[in-house]
Amino acid sequence: MASAAFGPSDGATRARLSVLASGSSGNCSAIEFRRRDGSRRLALVDLGLSPRRTQKLLHERGVSLSEVTDAFVTHFDRDHFHAGWAAREHLPFAIHVHERHEVWARRCGLAPKRMSLFDGPFMPMPGVRTSTSEEFHDEMGVIAYRFDISSGASLGYATDLGSVTSDLIDLLHKVSVLAIESNYCPKLQEASPRPAFLKRRIMGGAGHLSNQQAAHATELIEPRDHVVLMHLSRDCNAPGVAQAAHDGRPYALSVPAHGEGTDWIDAPPDRPAVRTPSAELHV
Ligand SMILES: [Zn+2]
């Protein structure tokens, strides 16, 4: 039982995030971890785009699918896990799946040998610690992720949240870069021609966050540098509306429209690691 050392010498000194696409038509983001020797590792969060589209969008950002070593799945709705990944004979990267999602992953056709299961903090690569929390979303629930690197930079990723919990705030507190969903404007949602059951599902505490809930969560999280608002509803939201809830806040803001993504966003290594390394962390 070896505990993981987690100091600056471990390697990952820079991290940056790019949302490739976000929304009900497909979600995928890339995180690049760069080491002191110049080498890098590329990870994906969610696999909600086809392999071909993912490759195209990575290529536009100067990286390649062949460089991806790890993928982290928040949950197995179709817009977060595309069937094309389960159908691939060979996958050159590990797909990290929370244990509570194993049965859902199988239903999506993902073979057990392709899954790298976890149910607590882990280190997917040297110098990168992954922490998670289980949040409400429909029947299967959703996993929020935090990535801490040894230089002190950190990234948080939280989408498809039914509500804002204290676990979520604790997990993501003071991350450098926060990607969080801001799904709908309540007024536009109420006024939309959507059926009542769908409105209840979205707004009922196990669906999605409104712009105001996302802004409130962000205020409590106190991100250090940059916030990306994700998963904007095509019909019941707009970038300008979502953005307005963050006016005057002390961080940079990116708000990609439904289905769109962002350029690379750096997570600056400007402070020592905020979170205490866990003695139980295994490598
Ligand atoms: Zn979704």
Q: Is 112 exposed, middle or buried, given 0-12, 13-18 or 19+ CB atoms closer than 10 A? A: exposed
Q: From ligand 1's centre to the CA of 207, what distance in Å?
A: 9
Q: From ligand 1's centre to the CA of 160, what distance in Å?
A: 5
Q: From ligand 1's centre to the CA of 123, what distance in Å?
A: 26
pLDDT digits (tens, 9 = 90+) for 43-59: 999 999 999 999 999 99
* Per-residue model confidence (pLDDT) at position 278: 42
- The C-alpha atoms of residue 22 and residue 179 are separated, in whole angstroms, by 11
Q: From ligand 1's centre to the CA of 243, what distance in Å?
A: 20
| Token pair in block for residue 86 | 């389960």
- The C-alpha atoms of residue 31 and residue 157 are separated, in whole angstroms, by 11
Is the model more confident about 240 or about 140?
Answer: 240
pLDDT digits (tens, 9 = 90+) for 11-69: 667 899 999 999 999 999 999 999 888 889 999 999 999 999 999 999 999 999 999 99
* Per-residue model confidence (pLDDT) at position 184: 92
CB 151 within 8 A of CB 157: no
* Per-residue model confidence (pLDDT) at position 88: 84
CB 259 within 8 A of CB 52: no
Q: From ligand 1's centre to the CA of 138, what distance in Å?
A: 11
Q: From ligand 1's centre to the CA of 70, what distance in Å?
A: 20
Q: From ligand 1's centre to the CA of 232, what distance in Å?
A: 10
Element (H, E) at 226: strand 226-230
Q: From ligand 1's centre to the CA of 24, what distance in Å?
A: 5
* Per-residue model confidence (pLDDT) at position 206: 64
C-alpha pair distances (Å), 233 with each of 104, 210, 253, 267: 24, 10, 18, 26
Instruction: Kindly state the average pLDDT of the residues 103-108.
Output: 94
Query: pLDDT at residue 243 above 70?
Result: yes
| Token pair in block for residue 175 | 């991350």
Q: Is 218 left (phi over 0), alpha (psi -120 to 50) or beta?
A: alpha
CATH superfamily of the 12-267 domain: Ribonuclease Z/Hydroxyacylglutathione hydrolase-like (3.60.15.10)
How far out from the chain centre does Cα 112 lie?
A: 23
Give me the residue spans of the domains in the chain.
12-267
Instruction: Kindly state the average pLDDT of the residues 255-260.
Output: 92
* Per-residue model confidence (pLDDT) at position 280: 38
